[in-house]
């Protein structure tokens, strides 16, 4: 007999995939290709992923690739957290030892046995993002990564719609995020560095209204 709590969490995860691929989390048994997201804090794992992202982006700057990689990861975390709360009133547990990842032109997520956990700030900021930013701070400035975190949260709200606004507004008051966005303009106080890629520009919420003068370095 299936566990009702697991069935309920799995059903919520299935429903939120309708919003976009960023809301997709696989469930059930997996092969050996999946690894716990806690391993993303390891320098060897991080550096291998950054090198692969650098090649895909055609950039020789590890911090640019790392920022982009981080943005994609935190966007998926927020999508799952905000999406499950908006849909069911409860956040799926994002335990770093149980939430799995693999690199498939971007980090894909999987939970073998999903269950509901704590609130989104605890599941995303406390257990996943704060330790990851601390582990990656020698590659990318923490301010840029916290800015990515806030921007990704706002992005999840835009996809879901106004029903997610109260939750997202409350999360943006977290001390780690409250100073990352200029609330009067909606612009970040940092840059994700995408403008430093060969084809990059600035995002709509970037601290820079136009790309700073920059001649990007390409991978030789």
Q: What are the beta bridge partners of residue 187?
A: 182
What pLDDT does residue 6 have? 66
- Proportion of the chain above pLDDT 90, given as a percent: 75
Is it the case that residue 218 has pLDDT exceeding 70? no
Where are the chain's structural domains?
4-196
Residue by residue, DSSP assigns 100-124 as EEEESSSEEEEESS--B-S-HIIII
What pLDDT does residue 213 have? 67
Query: Who has greater pLDDT, 112 or 7?
Result: 112
> How do strand 107-111 and strand 99-103 relate by DSSP bridges?
antiparallel
Cα four-point dihedral sign 166, 169, 175, 176: positive
Show the tokens assigned to 174: 């977290």
Query: What pTM value is reported for the model?
Result: 0.91
Is it the case that residue 209 has pLDDT exceeding 80? no
Cβ atoms of 81 and 118 closer than 8 Å: no
Write the pLDDT tens digit of every residue in 96-155. Answer: 999 999 998 789 999 999 999 999 999 999 999 999 999 999 999 999 999 999 999 999
What pLDDT does residue 4 have? 55
């Amino acid at each position: 007999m299936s566990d009702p709590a697991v069935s309920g969490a799995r059903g919520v995860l299935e429903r939120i995939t309708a919003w976009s691929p960023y809301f997709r989390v696989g469930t059930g048994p997996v092969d050996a290709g999946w690894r716990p997201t806690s391993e993303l804090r390891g320098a060897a794992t991080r550096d291998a992923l950054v090198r692969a992202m650098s090649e895909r982006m055609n950039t020789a700057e590890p911090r640019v690739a790392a920022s982009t990689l981080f943005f994609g990861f935190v966007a998926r975390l927020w999508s799952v957290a905000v999406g499950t709360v908006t849909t069911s009133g409860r956040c799926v547990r994002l335990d770093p030892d149980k939430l799995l990842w693999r690199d498939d032109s971007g980090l894909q997520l999987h939970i073998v046995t999903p269950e509901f956990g704590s609130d989104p700030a605890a599941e995303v900021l406390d257990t996943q993002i704060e330790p990851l930013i601390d582990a990656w701070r020698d590659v990318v400035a923490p301010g840029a990564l916290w800015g990515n975190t806030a921007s990704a949260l706002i992005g999840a709200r835009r996809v879901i719609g106004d029903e997610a606004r109260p939750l997202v507004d409350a999360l943006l008051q977290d001390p780690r995020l409250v100073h990352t966005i200029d609330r009067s303009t909606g612009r970040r106080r940092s840059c994700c560095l995408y403008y430093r890629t060969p084809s990059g520009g600035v995002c709509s919420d970037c601290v820079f209204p136009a790309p700073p003068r920059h001649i990007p370095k390409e991978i030789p």
